[in-house]
Structure 1
């Protein structure tokens, strides 16, 4: 007969909450950095895909294809264990950050390219006819419209980056939220309590990002 004899011990798990909150901050910082670097690289990849140089186009297309069609877990493994095979040793945190950044850049480059294609070519021609140079036309006309189009996909990617930081535990990262949670789990074997609290923290971080994005979007794109 099926029965449950597990006794929950939430009080002892809640004592670990300050350490888990510190880990949650490391998680958020890592995700935010991966987004900043990812956006910069994605813009470069988008520009390279528009160039006539076949090497630049090929490099950008290869990056995007690998990022979008291989698991993030493999990318982090290759950066941490694979590079070590060639004598290039990186920290767990760097491997995680680089892996998520690599993936972010691939997805965001496609978002940016799609957003750019959604802006009519007549916008650029009209700006040039008013005497703007190419840089002014992009800065004042194209980029503001592009940001409006890709803003919410950027938000979704940020949430994804936060959740993917949990993969850091597989390469020995122990100071982010999942790493701290796993450390307490190994010591106490109270798996349900600790990971339930961690899941709630991840949920709250994701919801906070979405809410902040909605408020910021309302503030920026009211008109």
Structure 2
């Protein structure tokens, strides 16, 4: 094709570095999803309330995270805080930015799920002697997660793909490892084809695993 000669052997020799980068990407994906979930749940409840300081703070978070690029959020944490003398590693910066972004999107996903759960469910929980917190934990949230399960998985995949932005702040996650390898070998096409294939394989693995988990949890 256009006289281009492929040298796949260079890519295979660097495969351990790419897989190490993929492991970093998966670490950030899981951690940012956990952090985002823990922040998004109370924000969704506050947003559903429709008033108060919790509503205002969570609304500002959702608006900012959902209406600015993730790249901007990474840069603001890494370079913006750095300009103020607060130096954060590229790993923590990417983790914080994706957690921030996940929380905004998940808050709206959770809010939609909460609205789909009949309000009588909480009334029933309170009539059984549960506190509001216990009602959410034992009655409302389990029903909500069934409703939003696949939207949640989609956000997890979106967060995983966004870890590639770490390349721009020097993080050697999957895309960063590929960028470094191709800068040394000058085999850009080969490295990024293989890297794209690894991203695709990871995304499909998450998707298929989620389908299996859903069947085991909700359709057994």
CA positional deviation for 1:144: 1.2
SS of corresponding position for 1:5 = coil
Structure 1 residue aligned with 2:131, among 130, 133, 148? 133
Q: Which runs of 5+ in 2 are unaligned?
A: none
SS of corresponding position for 2:180 = helix
CA positional deviation for 1:127: 2.8
For 1:135-154, what aligned pairs fall within 5 Å after superposition? Answer: 135-154=133-152
Distance in 2 separating the partners of 1:145 and 1:117: 11
CA positional deviation for 1:139: 2.5
SS of corresponding position for 2:219 = coil
Distance in 1 separating the partners of 2:89 and 2:156: 23
CA positional deviation for 1:134: 2.6
For 1:103-182, what aligned pairs fall within 5 Å after superposition? Answer: 103-173=101-171, 175-182=172-179
Q: Which runs of 5+ in 1 are unaligned?
A: none
The alignment's TM-score, normalised by the length of structure 1, stands at 0.94
Aligned position for 1:222: 219
Aligned position for 1:33: 31
SS of corresponding position for 2:112 = helix
Distance in 1 separating the partners of 2:152 and 2:15: 30
Aligned position for 1:66: 64
Aligned position for 2:186: 189
2:48 and 2:111 in contact (8 A); partners too: no
Q: Which moved more, 1:8-17 or 1:105-114?
A: 8-17
The alignment's TM-score, normalised by the length of structure 2, stands at 0.95
Distance in 1 separating the partners of 2:128 and 2:36: 33
SS of corresponding position for 1:45 = helix
Shift in alpha-carbon separation, 1:87–1:162, aligned structure 2, 3 A: same
Distance in 2 separating the partners of 1:84 and 1:33: 23
CA positional deviation for 1:18: 1.3
Shift in alpha-carbon separation, 1:27–1:75, aligned structure 2, 3 A: same
CA positional deviation for 1:218: 0.6
Q: Over residues 137-167 of structure 1, what are the superposed CA-to-partner deviations in whole Å (9 max), with x where a residue is unaligned?
A: 2232211101101211110011111110000
CA positional deviation for 1:51: 4.9
Distance in 2 separating the partners of 1:97 and 1:68: 17
Q: Over residues 69-92 of structure 1, what are the superposed CA-to-partner deviations in whole Å (9 max), with x where a residue is unaligned?
A: 000000101101111111111111
Q: Over residues 8-35 of structure 1, what are the superposed CA-to-partner deviations in whole Å (9 max), with x where a residue is unaligned?
A: 0011211111111111111111111110
